[in-house]
Structure 1
Amino acid sequence: MDILYSIFIDPFVQMGSAPDLLVQTLWEGLVSGVLYALIALGFVLIFKASGVFNFAQGIMVVFAALTLVGLYEAGVPAILALILTIAVMFLLAVGVERLVLRPLVNQPDIILFMATFGLTYFLIGFGELVFGGNPKVMITDELYLPRGSVEFEMFGGFVSLQKIDITAAIIASVMVAALAVFFQKTRIGRALRAVADSHKAALSVGISLNQIWIIVWFTAGIVALATGIMWGARSEVSFALQIIALKALPVLILGGFTSVPGAIVGGLIIGVGEKLGEFYWGPLVGSGIESWLAYVIALGFLLFRPQGLFGERIIERI
């Protein structure tokens, strides 16, 4: 009975007795969730254009952030370094399209998926060669990102909000909204969905796979850069960030691999669920729940709704 009380009742008693701590936990989960959603959008972009999960998106987050910091350390002013990093991500998109995707048009999805594995390890090796393997500090002040925190008195206690978290949530929300409009309302967005459905059909109606892939990979690169800046400002810039980026996988499982709204909802569920689980249920299992809870939630969805909350159910008739 004590175990059942600790699992099913005591956490909710704690939430009711200290609502200020609950609000603090929910806020931290919300920020993490929005950033997870931003990471997941990078995966959604590539999946919509090729129908393949882009394993390289995680290292693209690291590579973009390392490029920005590396250019600044080389003496390039911060804003110019940001512009040059965007140019580097465009060149990366062109290189991927010319050297990886174009030779593999109409190949099985598993071939494209394995190609993203190769791209991942190429970027890891190239990044370590150029920037080294040591963690770096994000140039927060130089990019005019705020520091410090603001406090609010709430429910008899205080809730502290880091200014960088507020900024990250705002920037990520704007990018998510802009990409949602891009997918649904623009000609390129419709062409992108057509490419995802069938490469041959898209080619037959005059859609250029080459242009679409460059646009999509470049947009995914911009998303990776924004994600790297925000995560780097909250911690540091290192190759460990690619592990955080892979949290997008359970987000995609929850929301659906082809759904922008699904990425948003899935990110929020994972972010808030992790923080609540770590704070209220973590002591029962010795903490560390934040590192695996997302995958347990994703496993539950795979068992009962494998297409995700907003994903398309594919029915194949035999």
Structure 2
Amino acid sequence: MNFFFEVLIGGLLSGVMYALVAIGFVLIYKASGVFNFAQGAMVFFAALTCVGIIDKFGVSIWLAIPLTIVVMIALGLAIERIVLRPLVNQPEITLFMATIGLAFFIEGLAQLLWGSQVHKLDLPIDDVPIPFLLDNYNIIVSQFDVTAAGICAVLVTALALLFSKTKVGRALRAVADDHQAALAVGIPLQQIWAVVWAVAGLVALVAGLLWGARNGVQFALTFIALKALPVLILGGFTSVPGAIVGGLIIGASEKLAEVYIGPMVGGGIEGWFPYVLALLFLLVRPEGLFGEKIIRRI
């Protein structure tokens, strides 16, 4: 039983980090109604920029992080001004194709600026078992995972409150429903998009630092975003709470499946089980647990 709880807790902690990546998708989708294919590239760009500043200029991580925040905000604002603003009121497929182009551009820019080699990122968090759980319950849970999950939980909670309790959040929901109507009632569409993309850049930075410290800062970080797809399908593309719940479900289920089902079907189940779960969920509730049902009148 102790081993079960060890696997479950580990999965839930990973799920919180998946939820953070999914939040970046939710923010952009709520603002523009389009899936942001470039979110994974932004995670990679943020992590690589941070370690690049540390390596190139010899500064501490405490200085590199604020500098990277400035860079990510500037990147988000530039994306809104140069790419999205000219595409206001264009079909959603046009915006989606624009984010695909952005993904390749951001990936290339990151490697052009800082190189393509794998970097090690050391955060001041020890990756050691928590003594209390190990000594009293014989459960191995990493202190790094708990701290990372705590950071993600604080950020996700702050974002949920920001977009559900503030004027910006109400404007965001109006923009997501209808760009033209939002403009007609005086909502500054460009400003809302700028804020959302800047916040998405900050989310990408936190996700990039945590996943980069765990797996190394490398191009593979771009694929972390793919793990957010099942999270979004389960939770709903428009719901911040849904991203949290979906992340916890995906994180826990993939770990439990790897340990208890993996030996019966072969290794690697952790990589594809979340997508099978999401596919089955689509058949039952396509809009997700917290997503809004789309009703079309004809």
Letter in 2 for 1:230: L
Q: Note closer, same or farther for the CA distance 1:49–1:149 as it changes in structure 2 (3 Å cut).
A: same
Q: Which deviations, in whole Å up to 9, do the C-alpha atoms of 1:17-68 show, x marking residues without a partner?
A: xx11101101110111000111100000000000000010011111100000
Structure 1 counterpart of 2:66: 83
Q: Distance in 2 between matches of 1:146 and 1:49?
A: 37
Distance apart, 1:98 and its partner CA: 1.1
Letter in 2 for 1:106: N
Instruction: Map residues 146-295 of structure 1 onto 2, 5 A cutoff.
Output: 146-152=126-132, 158-295=138-275
- For the pair 1:300 / 2:280, whether they are aligned, the reply is yes
Q: Distance in 2 between matches of 1:153 and 1:179?
A: 31
Contact 2:134 2:140 in 1 (8 A): no
Structure 2 counterpart of 1:134: 117
Number of aligned positions between the proteins: 297
Contact 1:20 1:155 in 2 (8 A): no
Structure 2 counterpart of 1:102: 85
Q: Distance in 2 between matches of 1:178 and 1:156?
A: 33
Distance apart, 1:135 and its partner CA: 1.2
Contact 1:262 1:311 in 2 (8 A): yes
Distance apart, 1:148 and its partner CA: 2.2
Q: Distance in 1 between matches of 2:290 and 2:177?
A: 17
Q: Note closer, same or farther for the CA distance 1:198–1:281 as it changes in structure 2 (3 Å cut).
A: same
Q: What is the percent sequence identity of the aligned residues?
A: 60
Distance apart, 1:154 and its partner CA: 7.5
Q: Distance in 2 between matches of 1:134 and 1:282?
A: 32
Letter in 2 for 1:206: G
Distance apart, 1:151 and its partner CA: 3.5
- For the pair 1:33 / 2:19, whether they are aligned, the reply is no
- Give the RMSD, CA atoms, in angstroms: 1.4
Q: Aligned with 1:123: secondary structure?
A: helix
Contact 1:152 1:160 in 2 (8 A): no
Letter in 1 for 2:37: F
Contact 1:20 1:154 in 2 (8 A): no
Letter in 2 for 1:115: A
Distance apart, 1:284 and its partner CA: 1.1
Structure 1 counterpart of 2:32: 50
Q: Which runs of 5+ in 2 are unaligned?
A: none
Question: Please, which of 142, 145, 159 is the counterpart of residue 125 of structure 2?
Answer: 145
Q: Distance in 2 between matches of 1:146 and 1:185?
A: 36
Q: Distance in 1 between matches of 2:138 and 2:125?
A: 24
Q: Which deviations, in whole Å up to 9, do the C-alpha atoms of 1:238-293 show, x marking residues without a partner?
A: 11011122111111010110011110110001000000000000011111001001
Q: Note closer, same or farther for the CA distance 1:234–1:316 as it changes in structure 2 (3 Å cut).
A: same
Q: Which deviations, in whole Å up to 9, do the C-alpha atoms of 1:53-104 show, x marking residues without a partner?
A: 0010011111100000000001233222111100001111111011110110
Q: Aligned with 2:116: secondary structure?
A: coil
Which runs of structure 1 show a deviation greater than 2 angstroms over 4 or more consecutive aligned residues?
144-149, 151-157
Q: Which deviations, in whole Å up to 9, do the C-alpha atoms of 1:93-133 show, x marking residues without a partner?
A: 11101111011000000000000000000011111211222
Q: Which runs of 5+ in 1 are unaligned?
A: 1-18
Distance apart, 1:176 and its partner CA: 0.9
Q: Distance in 2 between matches of 1:293 and 1:151?
A: 32
Q: Aligned with 1:52: secondary structure?
A: coil
Normalising by structure 2, we get a TM-score of: 0.97
Q: Distance in 1 between matches of 2:230 and 2:135?
A: 33
Q: Aligned with 1:159: secondary structure?
A: coil
Structure 2 counterpart of 1:9: none
Contact 1:58 1:242 in 2 (8 A): yes
